[in-house]
Amino acid sequence: MSFNSTFRLFALITNIAGICNAAISTTCTALLQKDGSICLNTPYGTETITEPVLIDLIKSKPTLRLKSVYLSGISALVIPSQPKRTRLDHSAGVLALLRKHKRPLLEQVAGLAHDLSHGVFSHTLDFVFENPNQQDESFESYIATTELPNILAKYNIKPHEINILKQQFPALKQKAPNICADILDGILGDCLETEFLKQDDLQTIMKALEFDGQNWFFTSQAAARRLGDASLYTVGKIYGSRANYMAYYWTAEALKKAAEQNIISFNDMRKGTDEKTWARLKKINNKAIQELVSQVENVESITLPGTIGHHDILSSTKFRCVDPWVKTQNGLKRLTQLDKSFKSEFKKLKNKLTKGLPILLAQKTGAIDQTQIFMA
């Protein structure tokens, strides 16, 4: 692997000085140093990576594949307002958060590796395999087909030891409404790129955020509210939008038809990259697939607001907003317990997404399975 190439959202560059003073960015840059260490620049500052297992994982082909898999899936390619962060940016951000809070090396390895089994277009494959947990459940089987078992074996680590479904990594992974490094970086990265959050907001949040070994919590209610609002924005405006849902659905339908014709295999979906796979779909000489591709490309003009009583599809989107813990004189309290305004906004969005988002289609596209669920 050559380290003289600069990638779009994640770079491995040799011997470049001054990165530690770089302006805030949602992209992550890794610089290979003369001593073999890696200087990892993230929105949260710079981390010097000296641990051989982390260095080997960062340089591995499965990890570098994630530089071409977008966090927001197909929407990154067809909806201009969607964030363009990659799964590699996200994985590096998660690693940086874990290091800043001095988490054990094994949890750092799990954090860096947790998204390796994401296939093309990220959670679009939830539709393809009709399983919202397919990515996590396929982690070990995916790892087994790569060079990673050999890399991990050098450091006496077995794949199941970094599987978040089998191990407890409290800083890395918790279920919403709790904060965890995985959800935290997703919120912060997307909101920084879309400019919902500014540099001052990030500094305020990071300064007041702590981890006590079990829970992430804030020492400032105002900082907790800023993150809470960012979470509502991310779930409601980015991943819970009508256009995002339908882009995922139609892309999944195109992928399934391509698989039926033996043009794009399920293995291609597991190990491919977004832009190359999208280009392949666009070139397939099949009327049904090209109609779906056209719908995806025009998704914003085709999907219109409906009502519960008048819609073509009622989408169901997973509600993953955080309700941060805040440190008070009486112990940890949920932000919804302390802030009536946030509680109202939190419940409003939860009810809206739980009931389903009614969508009207300006261009009728035939029968649609309304039981499909997109997991943000």
Q: What does the pLDDT profile of the chain (376 residues) look like in tens digits?
A: 333 333 333 444 333 233 333 334 567 889 989 999 999 999 999 999 999 999 999 999 999 999 999 999 999 999 999 999 999 999 999 999 999 999 999 999 999 999 999 999 999 999 999 998 999 999 999 999 999 999 999 999 999 999 999 999 999 999 999 999 999 999 999 999 999 999 999 999 999 999 999 999 999 999 999 999 999 999 999 999 999 999 999 999 999 999 999 999 999 999 999 999 999 999 999 999 999 999 999 999 999 999 888 999 998 788 999 999 999 999 999 999 999 999 999 999 999 998 899 999 987 554 444 434 333 3
SS3 187: helix
Task: Give 239-263 as a DSSP string.
Answer: ITSHHHHHHHHHHHHHHHHHHHTTS
Domains parsed from the chain with CATH numbers: 10-242+317-357 (1.10.3210.10)
Q: What are the residues facing 40 on neighbouring strands?
A: 30, 47
**Angle at the Cα of 13 from the Cα atoms of 41 and 188, rounded to 5 degrees:** 25
pLDDT digits (tens, 9 = 90+) for 207-249: 999 999 999 999 999 999 999 999 999 999 999 999 999 999 9
Dihedral over alpha carbons 297, 11, 144, 120 (to 10 degrees): 0
From the CB of residue 355, how many other CB atoms can be counted at a distance below 10 Å?
11
Question: Whole-number mean pLDDT of the chain?
Answer: 90
Q: What are the residues facing 200 on neighbouring strands?
A: none
* Strand ranges in 20-167 using DSSP code E only, listed in sequence order: 28-32, 38-42, 45-49
The predicted model scores a pTM of 0.90
From the CB of residue 248, how many other CB atoms can be counted at a distance below 10 Å?
30
Q: Which long-range contacts (CB under 8 A, 24 or more apart) does 57-60 make?
A: 57/109, 57/112, 57/113, 57/148, 57/151, 58/12, 58/30, 58/112, 59/1, 59/3, 59/12, 60/146, 60/147, 60/148, 60/151
Q: What angle, rounded to 10 degrees, do the helices at 181-193 and 199-208 form?
A: 160
Task: Give 256-314 as a DSSP string.
Answer: HHHHHTTSS-HHHHHH--HHHHHHHHHH---HHHHHHHHHHHTHHHHEEE-BTTB-SEE
